[in-house]
A and B are shown apart, each in its own frame.
Chain A
Amino acid sequence: MSLKPYEEVLEAYDPALGLEVHVELNTASKMFCGCSTEFGAAPNTHTCPVCLGLPGALPVVNAKAVESVIRIGLALNCSIATWCRFARKNYFYPDMPKNFQTSQYDEPICFDGWTEVEVDGVTYRVEIERVHMEEDAGKLTHIGGSTGRIQGADHSLLDYNRAGVPLMEIVTKPVLGTGAAAPKVARAYMTQLRELLRALGVSDVRMEQGSLRCDANVSLAPKGSDVLGTRTETKNVNSLRSVERALTYEIQRQGEVLAAGGRVLQETRHWHEDAGHTSPGRSKEQAEDYRYFPEPDLVPIAPAAEWVEELRGTLPEPPAQRRRRLVAEWGFTELELRDVIGSGSLDLIADTVDAGASPAAARKWWSGDLARRANAAGVELEEIGITPAQVAELQSLIEDGTINDKLARQVIDGVLAGEGSPAEVVEARGLAVVSDDGALAEAVDAAIAANPEVADRIRGGKVQAAGALIGQVMKAMRGQADAARVRELIMERLG
């Protein structure tokens, strides 16, 4: 369908965001039983009577999962419930063998929090409505459909290894007043949440493996109106990039619908990463259809105030404070900081600095060359195929004169192509700078002999003319020479 240009939509409407984020916790065992949560095991080998919902099996809550959720709630400035229960969310779909998901309904363990994110130097406050505990569902594979999707499938296969893995859901209140920055605010929120969850050590936060998932809601209201528009909920948003892309698309699509005098339908939509658009999904069942009721097999949870305070003492530095501290330590400018936040490279730079590189060099690679490559390839920066330790190694090869900046880019090509560590790529591709002065001197003499007028100008004091000769020597050496050393050799002869 046709889309309204983004700027035109924003002239007439204010977007309201809502983000529902599911996080798989990295506990060793499942939420209510002792089955392993390890990713990638053979189908149905991590299941037992409890997570298969066999008659008579009784669940028991994983203490570590409760602890993790309380710590997340505290890090998001939430209040912690003094007493709360689990609830059964009843539905008929084969991804849960019990025919219900154990979740929380009107008594979430954490509620009323907030966090602040930064986009292009502006701070936005995101209010958190709730953080609640639940369990993940099994994995369905649809067989017989042309694209492996449910439509047209002949039958489906179920692996219940993931059923019962501890999951928590973080739900924001409507995020208003972000204007044209809405998709960027959503991405910044997800980026910061991922940093925070990683710092808390409670999840692997791998979006591509599904341990961090985002349902992105957005609605449009006429500018100045205080009534929210009808929202859509977009699922299958599996990367930080696609959070921003999917919301930008939905804002344009809804803008087009409204401009044509139509009504936005409240529905779940599905993001198609490759095609870059959303399509309508399953129509949303009404909340009461789930027939929530308190879970009779689990007793209430009543976190003691002392326990909560003890957990508060284990929290990492808040994200905004950490950003300010690191940037001050590293001596970055405000503009450089924006690049770092915008490219989502803060953690990568920190790890690269820890591996021995200077902050300036780490920033130069991650926020510059590597961020551009990741963007061009359509992948997350940290999945690009080079580790912080390898970037630190690359930089040390430059600093000890083994390679120059230009060769370093070829070394990155090799590392990303899976040819090994930077040192291995230098070795295998023969990329080291030629430090043999004999070979260099020969190339310098040849360049001087081939360009007598240029040589005369340099002899006459026009030092800047040396650039032409340096270029020729570098070309003759196929880039594998230290330009400063070449200049020295030329000036020794003509200076």
Chain B
Amino acid sequence: MALTTAEVARLAALARIELSEDELARLAPQLEVILESVAQVTEVAGDDVAPMSHPLPLTNVFRADEVRPSLAAEQVLAAAPAVEDERFRVPRILGEGQ
């Protein structure tokens, strides 16, 4: 399972991260090491072993529908890089191809 630089570039674009050609070339083999490590699991998993997404044998952990105190707006916005009208201010959002 070889990871191509094109695939890394696509992941980077989805994550809105700009990577140079050098970085793409360097990261592809590094990410591949991670994928290969994970792939080893598939070698030991037989048809009789269900894929596991949770280590705990638990289901139905619920909470009652009760309102709990929220944070104060000052606390919420304290760490925001930019605030306007009590709201988080973010840079212009660019669509596909913009």
Contact = CB atoms under 8 A, between A and B. Distances in A.
A47 B86 CA distance: 13
Contacts of A33: 68
Given A29-B67, A47-B71, A156 B93 contact: yes
A299 B54 contact: yes
B70 A301 contact: no
B65 A283 contact: no
B15 interface: yes
Contact of A294 (B53, B67, B68): B53
A406 interface: no
A160 interface: yes
Given A156-B92, A158-B87, A282-B95, A34 B76 contact: no
Interface stretch (B1-9, B26-34, B37-45, B56-64): B56-64
Given A43-B87, A141-B87, A159-B87, A94 B67 contact: no
B85 interface: yes
A62 B65 contact: yes
Given A27-B65, A29-B67, A300-B59, A155 B90 contact: yes
Interface stretch (A63-71, A313-321, A458-466, A487-495): A63-71
B77 interface: yes
A305 interface: no
A42 interface: yes
Contact of A66 (B53, B62, B95): B62
Q: Is the interface of B mostly helix, strand, loop or mixed?
A: loop
B45 to A, nearest CB: 15
Interface in A149-180: 150, 153-160
A93 B93 contact: yes
Interface in A15-33: 27-29, 33
A62 to B, nearest CB: 5
B61 A60 contact: yes
Nearest to A153: B92
Given A29-B67, A52-B76, A92 B92 contact: no
A44 interface: yes
Contact-size category for B: 35 or more
Contact of B60 (A36, A44, A282, A302): A302
Max chain B C-beta neighbours (<10 A), residue from A27, A65, A156 = A156
Given A92-B16, A157-B84, A29 B65 contact: yes
Interface string A133-157: 0000000111100000010011111
B66 A34 contact: yes
Contact of B73 (A44, A62, A303): A44
A61 B63 CA distance: 6
A61 B61 contact: yes
Interface in A288-304: 289, 291, 294, 296, 298-303
A46 B68 CA distance: 10
A48 interface: yes
A157 B53 contact: no
B3 to A, nearest CB: 15
Contacts of B86: 42-44, 159
Nearest to B82: A155
A365 B46 CA distance: 68
A48 B69 CA distance: 8
Given A43-B85, A154-B92, A283-B96, A301 B68 contact: no
Most buried by A among B58, B71, B72, B91: B71
Interface of B: 14-16, 53-54, 56, 58-73, 76-77, 84-93, 95-97
Given A94-B93, A142-B93, A150-B93, 17 more contacts: A28-B65, A28-B66, A34-B69, A35-B68, A43-B73, A46-B70, A47-B76, A63-B65, A65-B65, A83-B59, A90-B14, A141-B87, A150-B95, A155-B84, A155-B89, A156-B91, A159-B87
10 contacts: A34-B63, A35-B70, A61-B63, A62-B65, A63-B63, A85-B53, A94-B93, A153-B93, A301-B60, A303-B60
7 pairs of A and B residues whose beta carbons are closest in the complex: A34-B68, A64-B65, A294-B53, A63-B62, A157-B87, A302-B59, A158-B88
